[in-house]
Structure 1
Amino acid sequence: MTKLSIEPVTRVEGHGKVTLSFDDSGKLDKVNFHVVEVRGFEKFLEGRYIEDAPIFTPRICGICQVSHHLASAKAVDKVFGVKIPETANMLRNLMQQASNVHSHALHFGMLASPDLMFPTTDDALKRNLLGVAGENMDMIKDSIAMRKVGQTIVQKVGGRAIHPVTAIVGGQSKPLTEEERDELLTLSDNLVETAERTLNVGKEMVENLKEKDLMNLGYFESYHMGLVNNGAQDIYEGNIRVVNSEGKIEYEFDPAEYANYITEGVRPYSYLKFPYLTEKGEGEGKGAYRVNTLSRLNVCDKMPTPIAQKYYEEFVKTYGKPAHQPMLFHYARLIELLSSSELIRKFLEDDKIVDTDVRAEVDPKNITGEGVGCVEAPRGTLIHHFKTDDRGIINDTNLVVATVQNNPAMDIGVQKVAEKYIKTPEDAKPHILNHMEMVIRAYDPCLSCATHTIGEEPKMLSMDVYQGGKLIKTL
């Protein structure tokens, strides 16, 4: 038997690998995506005071930290049965949109663009950020500029650019001052224009994949899930909607009811769980669903902002609805980048954003004992679920992270690529192996976020030991 591996998968957050096994006759036998790190946030949150959860959970990740901060804060508000003031809600939403801009600009400009610009080259020294900069430095500069706007807003609203602290039980710990608002308005003056310019560059790059017969890399049909607010795409609040592979609405439910619809399974070769829709079964893609930007466009009826709506309509006209191609997550990501940029301007131009009423009174004795908070992280639907005792001490935690929900799709996607391009080990050319990474990167996975639990240990994780280029043994 021959085994090949892509280790590590690059230009993603966290640690993962892909293995390809061939039988004794040299035919492709098995392909799997492995996530090989373990983190224990669900476990060590037990015994902590519930109001500390929004401070601990952002430490899961340095990119998705705002989404973890807000999902926890919303859950904590539910535990104390408190409704936060309108301005506090606006500030949290502003922070969420800014984080979306920061993350999407980072992914497109630095992580995904080498795949889109150089999808067929075997030269790894060209297929990177410096190679992209040599072809289109303005695009890289635009990505950096948008990241600066996003991170500065998070710093002003959240108290820190990384791991914000201001979303507390009952609202926000501090208001946004007039001076800060004016500074952010000036800083974001060209944000919408820059986002639209980036969208048009990225749209052309994605469309060029058609000419290279790469648009259907990792293609399969599935359910899609995302938040909608009165039918509109929303990354901060709303109901969870699930559509089937034909676009029909299967479910729409309050996030607090998620456990009635989602079951988390395990496989022996990865520390990542494999969620599926409870009533739809599991295995061989049954019940598999996807989250993230393309899924959010597939489940919504419209975008919440006018310019993004124009591009959404063009997208649907071109690719249909629902669209299932993983490469279209890039295109959808840029439409959403534009939408968040428009919303940032809308929030900052609203005088309510500088109101000083940002925290509701909280009764520390009014503990309901359970709370669920949900937002759309840049990578998809994120659910934080806490249970406490009557003193408000956490005794049970479940974090349903976006990348976990896309784990079945990434696993299926790399198998699809291998089945199409690799019949024997000799077919595994560098650019073909990179096609498998392209599918993974299309989902913009955050593997550190996803490997959050201590549970059943996989039985088939392996490490090959070599000496002098010869395989000695497998552990």
Structure 2
Amino acid sequence: MQRIEINPMTRLEGHGKITIFLDDKGNVDNAFWQVVEFMGYEKFLIGMPIEEVPRTVSTVCGVCRAVHFMASLKAADEVYGVKPTETARKLRELFYYAHYVEDHMEIIYALGLPDFVCGPTASPAERNLVGLIMKVGVDVGRDVLKKRFAAVRIFEILGGRPSHPVAAIPGGWSKRLKEEERQEILRYADECVELGKFTLKAFKDLVLSNPQYVELIKGDIYKVVTNYLGTVDEAGKVTYYDGTQVFVDTKGNEIGRFSGKEYLEWIAERTLPWSYQKAPYIKKLGWKGIVDGEGTSLYSVGPLARFNVGNGFDTPGAQEAYEEMVEFFGGKPVHNILGYHWARAIELLHCAEKVKELASDESITAPDVRQELGEALGEGVGIVEAARGTLIHHYKTDSKGIVTDANIIVATTHNKGSINIAIKRAAENFIKEGKVDEGILNLVEMAYRPYDLCLACSTHTLPGKLPVQIDIYTKDGELVKSLRNFK
């Protein structure tokens, strides 16, 4: 049996490899996406004051910094039994929307679009961000980067730093927003909205106008049929900072919803012998293996999942783009994973419009940015929609607010099974009779890029912490033991 490795995987955050096994005829027998690094933040957060956790977990990743910061901050709110003031919540949301703009922009232009603009089988020397800029023009590239700076500057004004933010206070925000800062943010907000509109137009002009790419987007090669998890507001619209988490099945029917600690009733994690990353599944459906299709217990998260779960967006530009995408695919749910790129572009515009909306609210400069803290209650769960998908931070503390247990489930972990299926399916379609070249291997890699992998974020869990059920199986699928509430 022949083995092919893609090592390292390219255009993603972190370190991983793909191992593909060919049968005697040179066709794909199996394929595995392996995470080969381990971060272990859950372990060394133990013993840390909960109020220090947001600033610490923001260093998990240089890109995902705001999402870990915010999820853990929401968990810290719960530990102290407080809710942020109205002004503090607005500041948090404004900060978070700005992060989404710069994050989605980076992923779309640096990791996603080069495959389409430069060509899926082009040389790696050309198929990258520099190659993309050369194709679209240096002036266009310069303008896009300038507008990304606008979002980063808003992030810096509110978070205190352009990289890892320091503004976290349980129950609030570290400082009020000055009127001159609000005016500055308003100016940058216009640039963010322009970036969102330009990005959607660029996706239409560069991708959707190409019949070959439309065939790939709508076809079965890059199609993974799973359940979906996303967060919605009271009106059922897509939201990111706060809301209710909803599961829908492969037909788009709601399976159930949860909030906070209720996630333990819905999500179980299976350990895998070939990866540092675990494979979550819908606990109430039971483990069915790494298979897709009707009846699967796997689920997907992220921009396409939010698109499938929510009934649209609460800003005009994003809603119009949402309706166009629904019409393009002929309805929902959309299982064609290259649609993640399009959904991400819609979210970029949505968040830019929300930045403009919040920055236009003069009350956001009010002084009520902090709540008085009571005694530590001993446990808190913070859930947000990270740019990559649903993010869960769960902490237990002692009576002084010192962390005694931690559990982090990130988007790339939720998507473990879906990504593995996507990679295997692409490999089966493109690798025939042992014929493999650089272009073919990139077509395989294109199967994981829609999910926007962050492997640094996804490898923190160690057996024996919070009461998440972990099922251990033999290689033949026989259940050996179910572990829960163990140390």
TM-score (norm 1): 0.92
Rounded Cα–Cα distance in structure 2 between residues aligned with 1:122 and 1:64: 29
CA displacement, residues 97-134 of structure 1 (integer Å, 9 cap, x when unaligned): 01100100001111111112134424222211222111
Q: How does 1:202-241 map to 2 (within 5 A)?
A: 202-208=203-209, 210-212=211-213, 213-215=215-217, 216=219, 217-230=221-234, 231-241=236-246
Rounded Cα–Cα distance in structure 1 between residues aligned with 2:211 and 2:230: 27
CA displacement, residues 31-52 of structure 1 (integer Å, 9 cap, x when unaligned): 1111100011001111111111
SS in 2 for 1:383: strand
Percent same amino acid at aligned positions? 41
Rounded Cα–Cα distance in structure 2 between residues aligned with 1:53 and 1:120: 41
SS in 1 for 2:367: coil
Q: Report the equivalent of 1:468.
A: none
Indicate if the aligned counterparts of 1:109 and 1:143 stay in contact, CA closer than 8 A. no
**Segment drifting more, 180-189 vs 227-236:** 180-189
Query: Is 1:370 the equivalent of 2:371?
Result: no
Relative distance call for 1:48 and 1:209 in structure 2 (3 A) is: farther
Q: Report the equivalent of 1:446.
A: 454
AA aligned opposite 1:334? A
| Paired residues, number | 456
User: Structure 1: which 5+ residue stretches go unaligned?
Assistant: 459-475
RMSD across aligned C-alpha pairs, in angstroms? 1.9
**Segment drifting more, 408-417 vs 446-455:** 446-455
Rounded Cα–Cα distance in structure 2 between residues aligned with 1:196 and 1:29: 43
Rounded Cα–Cα distance in structure 2 between residues aligned with 1:9 and 1:210: 28
Shift of 1:429: 2.2
Q: Report the equivalent of 1:432.
A: 440
Indicate if the aligned counterparts of 1:109 and 1:140 stay in contact, CA closer than 8 A. no
AA aligned opposite 1:329? Y
Rounded Cα–Cα distance in structure 2 between residues aligned with 1:311 and 1:430: 35
Query: Is 1:352 the equivalent of 2:363?
Result: yes
Shift of 1:390: 1.6
SS in 2 for 1:415: helix
Q: Report the equivalent of 1:70.
A: 70
SS in 2 for 1:367: coil
Rounded Cα–Cα distance in structure 1 between residues aligned with 2:103 and 2:191: 18
Rounded Cα–Cα distance in structure 2 between residues aligned with 1:142 and 1:339: 20
Rounded Cα–Cα distance in structure 2 between residues aligned with 1:362 and 1:117: 52
AA aligned opposite 2:126? K
Q: How does 1:223-372 map to 2 (within 5 A)?
A: 223-230=227-234, 231-282=236-287, 283-285=289-291, 286-319=296-329, 320-363=331-374, 366-372=375-381
Indicate if the aligned counterparts of 1:116 and 1:209 stay in contact, CA closer than 8 A. no
AA aligned opposite 2:360? E
Rounded Cα–Cα distance in structure 2 between residues aligned with 1:179 and 1:425: 63
Query: Is 1:93 the equivalent of 2:93?
Result: yes
Shift of 1:209: 6.0
Indicate if the aligned counterparts of 1:133 and 1:140 stay in contact, CA closer than 8 A. yes
AA aligned opposite 1:263? A
Rounded Cα–Cα distance in structure 1 between residues aligned with 2:209 and 2:280: 33
